[in-house]
Structure 1
Amino acid sequence: MATPLNRTVSESALLGGSLPLGLLRPYLLGENDGDGIGPGLMAELKLLARQPSLLVACNYGGTLTPVDGQTTETLPLDSAAVALRALAALPNTHAAVISGRSLRDLAAVSRLPAEIHLVGSHGHEFDMAFAYTIPQATEGVLQLAGNALVERLTARLGVAQAERLVTEHRLAFERKPAAFAVHRREADPGAAEVATAVAREVAAAYGLSFIEDGTVVDLCALPPAKGAALDKLRAQLGVSAALFAGDAASDEGALGTLRGPDLGLHVGPRATTARHQLRDPDAFARLLAVLFELRRAWLFGEEAVALERHSMLGDGSSTALVTPDGTICWLTHPLPDSGSLFAHVLGGDPAGHFSAGPVAASRLLGQRYVDNTMIVETRWADVAVTDYLEPSPEGITQLVRVLSGSGTARIVFAPRPDYAGAPCAIEPRGDVLHVVGTSEPIVLHAPGVRFAIESDGRHASATGQVDLSQGPVVLTLRCGDPEVHEPDPAAEPERREDVARAARAWVQRLEIPAVKPSLVVRSALTLRHLVHEPTGAVLAAPTTSLPEGIGGTRNWDYRYCWLRDASLTVLTLVELGSTEEADGFLAWLGRILASAPGPEWLHPLYSVTGAPLSTEASIEHLPGYAGSRPVRIGNAADHQVQLDVFGPVAQLIDALSERTGELPDAHWRILVQMAAAVAARWHEPDHGIWEARRAPRHHVYTKTMCWVTLDRALRVARRHERRPDDGWEPLAAVVRSEVLAEGWDDGARAFTVAYDSPDLDAAVLHVGLTGLINPLDPRFLATVAAVERELRVGPTVFRYTYDDGLPGLEGGFHLCTAWLIEAFLAVGRVDDAEDLFARLAALMGPTGLLPEEYDPATETHLGNHPQAYSHLGFIRCARLLDEAHRGAS
């Protein structure tokens, strides 16, 4: 009869839910009558559950079912069957049963589904055709051995007793494809002992292997091969780790093949080489249930926090993410693309986190930014946590967490260096915790807090409690400083005020539009803190691998400086009145150009230091946000040809020189280089703005940006009385003419993604937005209508719907939504622009941040967070709407 736990497992497997911890806890903690899962076994299960590809295999009788034999009573335990099937249904997870039974009998009696691999005849029989491969001579030997066994039993027991044993089914004989079996389950001990002795003699006499598994004795023509079968399954399925459980002597061969993170289990009291022993099949069924829950949680995430609900901290050099409940879930050091110290957002607690909150269950009251700063406050009824990154000398990251209130707070410091791939320890030295074993010095100053240190053998965690009624507690995490400075807790309010004052002074210099001013300020601060001040480079986003589709593979690393994204980011800040970020970026770009073989050979993106990217790789031990794999490090787009990138640089220099009234020689040289790059390569196909991983094409957006490069260069030359190249103006006319002729598709009645393609792409809106064509031209009006009709869904606009050569789907792109709003304004559809902008603003997270994308079907935010594109698009729309309002009045 199914226990409550069994029913829970069944419901969890069939309904996709998770097992209630209240029911699992006795087994997790080893409290269930001695057959629970102790700490050592649990640690190994957790490690096994996180393997990229897993095989769960076991014997049948005595492991999945408590009895042997041929009767229907040998069905597997309901709970075991459900858990095994649930495991097999998980991605990159396989299940198998390797039994001494014939494959036909195993399939008929177990009734296990097709997704579970069945192997019979002690590891030899993978399919029914095996029975037809037995040589005739072997068939004859088995027949003779069977006859001899019956004859000798009759002689030993006497005819009457032998007949009674057989007719009453206390002793049964079975012919298997490569064996003759004796079933002794119901035979009295004396008769069973005699049958075993006779079977052993006959096996020796006929050169057969004698295998005794539980109450079944096999005389086999082939030696047991469960180990070889397990290896064969591993190779066929390409798994990285395996669990094998068995109860019989023949299972020892499979246990002997286990290695590395593999896990071996023996079920029952018999002596074994397995590291862990379970009492009975019931205990094994419970272990399968726990393994299913652990792996499901690792694969799909445990109640992943919605992306837009994360808040970003920044100091102009480093960034971090904070969850709504006060957990630092993402932090890298010393560079944006360095390995993470905390990667909870990509792998839960095992990936590292720094948590602070009330000990007692308390309702979260909310989280907010302190006005016009990057300081985040998280509040409960009796505890508050204030977080900020404090500007520090280059190479040092300093995170400050201030705990205040009247209650008791709990702190968990769980560093996991290098994406949780590097081991570390924690040593308390007075009020300072030292992270030991890292390449960079990392210390946590925590005056007045006493921590308990625990380790799983690879990583350490520190847990502490503190009574806040005695006054605030200041935690300072300092990374990269070889000297242990003791910050004065009493001076923290003044340090915090310095951070706030600097942010507010910057905001006060901005020209904020009257449309959604508070959200514009938040977006502007976000963009400013995506600028890496030590170098001048600009991040597309501070994170990696946050998915464009939950459970999908469109997970990219955006912690780099794309020439396009960076130019548009600092251009947006220029339009708000802040030019220092643009100056810093153009200085960074100048250094890149100085070492490049030519401007036409610029990469689309670089690390913030200006170095080309390393090869794109995957972190296999991290499950990804909500189970979305892979977690990628690096970006293969570095090797693509993207010829549109010169246009945004030219737009930036044009806007910056107009704003300041000046054109430094260094900026003019860059503009000349951008125009030269266009002249050299504009006619080539490329991979386009969206970095499709397919053959290059003649993208309409790319050609438009090539025209923009030349047009803005000519405009700047006229404004500042510089001498343009004689070829710029005629070449601009040639490019424009080609775009108008080749970019328009009569069938689609719109400008399309590429020449000779009917597919729509939101990026082609720039044909009108850049001035290449008059926005009131019927062709642009038709293109705007087509994009709205084909690519807009509710509050969002998709980039495109054509096959881009990548698996899976993605959400609507916030920047594309901003482009359509801008297009509406350009063609005079102000009401439509107002409506779509209001719907975009409503998608902002509770602290005013936006990821990259939005899925209108599931109302889920997607992509890396926060995304520069999303925020710069939002700011531009607010500015244009403000201008439209002032123009109307």
Structure 2
Amino acid sequence: MQGVAASRADARVRPEREDDGAPELPVDVRRRISALARTPRLLIACDYDGALTPTDTGDTNTARPHPLAVRALRELADLPATTCAVISSRPLTSLATLSRLPAEIHLVGAHGTEPDTALHTHPSNKPTALQALREHVEATATCYIGGGDGEEDALAHLTGPDAGIRVGEHTAPTMAAHTIPDTPTAALFLAALVTERRAWTFGERPTPIERLSLLSNQTSVALVGPDARLAWLCHPEPDSGAVFAEILGGRSAGTFALAPAHGGQPLGQRYEPGTMTVHTRFAGLHVTDYLAHPTQRGRTDLVRVLSGTAPTLVEFAPRPDFGRTPVRLRAHTDGLVVQGADFPMVLHAPGVQWAIDHDGVHDSARATVHPTSEHPVVLELRLGTGDLSAAPVAETDRRRAVRDHWAGWLDTLSLPVAARELAARSALTLRGLCTPSGGVMAAATTSLPEEIGGVRNWDYRYCWLRDGALTVRALVSLGSTAEADAFLDWVHRVVATVPSPELLRPLYTLAGTDLGPEETIESLAGYAGSRPVRVGNAADHQVQLDVFGPVVELIADLAHRRGVLADRDWELVRSMAEAVARRWHEPDHGIWEERDEPRQRVYSKVMCWVTLDRAVRLAGRFGRVVDPVWGPLAADIAAEVVAKGWNETVGAYTTAYEGEDLDAASLHIGLSGLLDPANERFQATVTAVEAGLRQGPTVYRYRRDDGLPGGEGGFHLCTAWLIEAYLLTGRGVEAEELFAHLVERAGPTGLIPEEFDPDSERALGNHPQAYSHLGLIRCAQLLDRHR
């Protein structure tokens, strides 16, 4: 469908602007257009005389519909889940001849009593015809546009999200929620509805996910597109509501854009080496973006520096809480004050002259600035403060402090030789996903889709026990332990909130608290029309018994690196082992958090074994006392997995004991050391995963029916696992080849999202994804050893 929509771009209806002589739609009507455009199944029904054609044209036998209205109805009817109809007092044959509307627009004549073939009932009047249409298409909202006499009965039957539009000047009261003056304005209404409905259905043409660059100061994160548009920023926390969510909702979800006034295209984007500062270059314009170090708790400063010779157009339209909070902008000598959000917000921009527009709900601001190389223009978006005074530290000094913070840390790491620059960017990215609370984001975003147009859109801005442990463990392997210490502090605080460790949830907010209910943001169209846009994650109520293993392995790595095992960390190991001892035998939802029935999953059992195995080893090395049941229980779990996880028909270890479906996570039966890599059954599993789950440059998690519609791309972490499995089984050439493919999946600035679709060759999923970057680091380290 998107290809069809794109191919018709030149022929699309475009509402004429006010300065072109077209009438202006009232504010209440514009608001209703936005609401109607976002309903799942929309019915638009119009009267003919008075709505589509004026009633004062003289000869009613030759009255043609307004051309703009006809084009709009055609395009609306061409959109998915959108039905158009004309219900007229004219006889059906006359209506068809006169209107010349295409067959996809349903016609009902003779005051609603003569339907076309769409309806199998025989309505008795306009209201019953409208109701029959509504039921036939299962409309979630109906818009009825009435213009002539006898419209009030139909308008009176509209309820809830329905909208009644009365056209023309009428002295009698109307049941319609809105009135517009004439037929040209009704045509403009339909044209505007086309624009918003299409954007809602397909989404605006989005930036490829892998081309988005991450900004971070470890308190906040943001994404900047290759055209210097701010695509994503939340406040006051990275898992709070978005202030700018253009990547999910287009301009209406928040805009902060910088571009040459002459309209030139971006020439390139890069990170300043070793930092999280992003440079975007246009002809005559250079944009530098970074998040400054926070000067106070709850404050975020996004600094945007413009230099060069080109006059630059600035667009600024914050939309707090995913655009659900109306905002007003107030211009001051030193910038703009944003009113309406739950927290103070200003744009520090001394001397800039702003033009402020109001669309009836929100304000937007525009300005043209004139930077030079000697005198750059500095724009500072300050969230969490209303202070418009000059910063006490010069911008160049703030930028230098940011550079030193990141580059100085990077210099302390022991980076792999393989793909060294990409591994360095991966390390910076992982650290950028770590927060002051110790919580670690699984990814910076929510609802970037696993399938374009699909429903597999999840919120990854939280801290998973598993993901967080794997992320900071990757940093430990490079030589940085501060992030692991902070994460373990976070884990200790979370464990203290539950009566027993086996009751831990798989994920929590970055602050370590329970998530609220998962909800959808109905006002956002989603990336490329992929809905729903979700906030929260219902997986926090699942049973995931694999989460204990990564935490214990992290503690083991720290202890081995330091030569000492902290008492509190040993107590955490004991808690994890006890949790496994109580629950290892249960079915669970597993690492992929499938919203289906729990199963006896091989990967989860392997991670239960890892928990006990590493606990026993730690105790032996550091002289700790173990529960005597741990060793035998670990052996029992291993024996059960080896026996029950193997499927003779498939010739591999499968997802779960009771099924024949493959899962890349089951490779961990060898990657973890439970089985010797030389074991024939492990090698057969590697071959089966390669044959069944690898497609060219990527590896899928699984191919089974998981209870959700649609599909997904290959998962970069699974690609990393197969690379490791190749190396363990002596297949170095295949490992090198697949690693080269993984490296190629990185975007121009070195960031990697969650997934890759080998058919469309496009990136998918939330971005940047910690799993993808830690997988790349792990593979680079293993290849160094192999080489």
TM-score range, shorter chain: over 0.9
Is 1:679 the counterpart of 2:669? The answer is: no
Is 1:514 the counterpart of 2:420? The answer is: no
Q: Look up the match of 2:352.
A: 449
Contact 2:449 2:455 in 1 (8 A): yes
Residue 665 of structure 2 aligns to a residue in which SS? helix
Matches within 5 A, 1:391-790: 391-392=293-294, 393-469=296-372, 471-481=375-385, 484-488=388-392, 491-533=394-436, 535-790=437-692
Q: Look up the match of 2:42.
A: 54
Distance 1:439 1:858 in 2: 41
Report how far residue 113 of structure 1 moved.
7.1
Report the CA distance shift for 1:788/1:486 in structure 2 as closer, same or farther (over 3 A): same
Structure 2 unaligned runs (5+)?
none
Contact 1:28 1:38 in 2 (8 A): no
Letter in 2 for 1:97: V
Contact 1:226 1:250 in 2 (8 A): no
Distance 1:835 1:636 in 2: 38
Report how far residue 57 of structure 1 moved.
0.9
Distance 2:770 2:117 in 1: 59
Comparing both chains, which one has the higher relative contact order based on Cα–Cα distances under 8 Å and sequence gaps of 6 or more? 2
Distance 1:453 1:65 in 2: 36
Is 1:341 the counterpart of 2:243? The answer is: yes
Is 1:861 the counterpart of 2:763? The answer is: yes
Residue 150 of structure 2 aligns to a residue in which SS? helix
Contact 1:103 1:118 in 2 (8 A): yes
- Which residue among 376, 379, 403 is the counterpart of 2:278? 376
- Deviations 1:738-794, CA, capped at 9 Å, x for gaps: 000000001110000001210001110101100010111111111111111111111
Distance 1:598 1:758 in 2: 35
- Which residue among 133, 153, 161 is the counterpart of 1:253? 153
Contact 2:601 2:655 in 1 (8 A): yes
Structure 1 unaligned runs (5+)?
1-10, 134-176, 179-224
Matches within 5 A, 1:106-145: 116=105, 118-123=107-112
Identity of aligned residues (%): 52
Contact 1:362 1:381 in 2 (8 A): yes
Residue 590 of structure 1 aligns to a residue in which SS? helix
Distance 1:132 1:364 in 2: 58
Report the CA distance shift for 1:432/1:108 in structure 2 as closer, same or farther (over 3 A): closer
- Which residue among 765, 768, 780 is the counterpart of 1:878? 780
Letter in 1 for 2:37: A
Report how far residue 46 of structure 1 moved.
4.7
- Which residue among 169, 188, 199 is the counterpart of 1:297? 199
Residue 242 of structure 1 aligns to a residue in which SS? strand
Report the CA distance shift for 1:278/1:785 in structure 2 as closer, same or farther (over 3 A): farther
Matches within 5 A, 1:89-168: 89-100=78-89, 116=105, 118-123=107-112
Report how far residue 95 of structure 1 moved.
2.1
Residue 398 of structure 1 aligns to a residue in which SS? strand
Letter in 1 for 2:365: A
Contact 2:333 2:351 in 1 (8 A): no
- Deviations 1:292-332, CA, capped at 9 Å, x for gaps: 23311222122111000000100011100101111111111
The total of aligned residue pairs comes to 781
Distance 1:234 1:527 in 2: 51
Report the CA distance shift for 1:406/1:729 in structure 2 as closer, same or farther (over 3 A): same
Distance 1:78 1:474 in 2: 48
Contact 1:693 1:804 in 2 (8 A): yes
Contact 2:266 2:281 in 1 (8 A): yes
Contact 1:29 1:39 in 2 (8 A): no
Report how far residue 100 of structure 1 moved.
3.0
Report the CA distance shift for 1:452/1:240 in structure 2 as closer, same or farther (over 3 A): farther
Is 1:792 the counterpart of 2:690? The answer is: no
Distance 2:448 2:371 in 1: 36
- Deviations 1:207-236, CA, capped at 9 Å, x for gaps: xxxxxxxxxxxxxxxxxx434544565566
Letter in 2 for 1:599: P
Report how far residue 336 of structure 1 moved.
1.6
Distance 1:850 1:57 in 2: 46
- Deviations 1:530-580, CA, capped at 9 Å, x for gaps: 0112x1010101111111001110000111001111110001001111011
Residue 709 of structure 1 aligns to a residue in which SS? helix
Residue 824 of structure 1 aligns to a residue in which SS? helix
Contact 1:52 1:620 in 2 (8 A): no
Report how far residue 122 of structure 1 moved.
2.6
Letter in 2 for 1:424: V
Q: More deviation in 57-66 or 410-419? A: 57-66
Report how far residue 89 of structure 1 moved.
3.9
- Which residue among 76, 81, 85 is the counterpart of 1:87? 76
Q: Look up the match of 2:14.
A: 24
Contact 2:13 2:68 in 1 (8 A): no
Residue 641 of structure 1 aligns to a residue in which SS? coil
- Which residue among 331, 339, 356 is the counterpart of 2:233? 331
- Which residue among 728, 732, 741 is the counterpart of 1:830? 732
Residue 498 of structure 1 aligns to a residue in which SS? helix
Q: More deviation in 704-713 or 243-252? A: 243-252
Residue 249 of structure 1 aligns to a residue in which SS? coil
Distance 2:118 2:45 in 1: 22
Residue 685 of structure 1 aligns to a residue in which SS? coil
Q: More deviation in 631-640 or 479-488? A: 479-488
Report how far residue 451 of structure 1 moved.
1.2
Report the CA distance shift for 1:263/1:271 in structure 2 as closer, same or farther (over 3 A): farther
Distance 1:115 1:51 in 2: 20
Report the CA distance shift for 1:263/1:784 in structure 2 as closer, same or farther (over 3 A): same
- Deviations 1:806-865, CA, capped at 9 Å, x for gaps: 111111101111111111111011111111110111111000001101111101111100
RMSD over aligned CA atoms reads 3.2
Contact 2:337 2:347 in 1 (8 A): yes
Distance 2:472 2:553 in 1: 11
Residue 422 of structure 2 aligns to a residue in which SS? helix
Letter in 1 for 2:142: A
Report the CA distance shift for 1:411/1:753 in structure 2 as closer, same or farther (over 3 A): same
Report the CA distance shift for 1:349/1:15 in structure 2 as closer, same or farther (over 3 A): closer
Q: More deviation in 88-97 or 356-365? A: 88-97
Contact 1:347 1:625 in 2 (8 A): yes
Distance 1:829 1:317 in 2: 42
Report how far residue 627 of structure 1 moved.
0.6
Higher helix share: 1
Q: More deviation in 829-838 or 475-484? A: 475-484
Distance 1:248 1:708 in 2: 75
Structure 2 length-normalised TM = 0.92
Distance 2:136 2:667 in 1: 49
Contact 1:13 1:83 in 2 (8 A): no
Report the CA distance shift for 1:235/1:456 in structure 2 as closer, same or farther (over 3 A): farther
Q: Look up the match of 1:137.
A: none
Distance 1:824 1:846 in 2: 28
Distance 2:70 2:652 in 1: 57
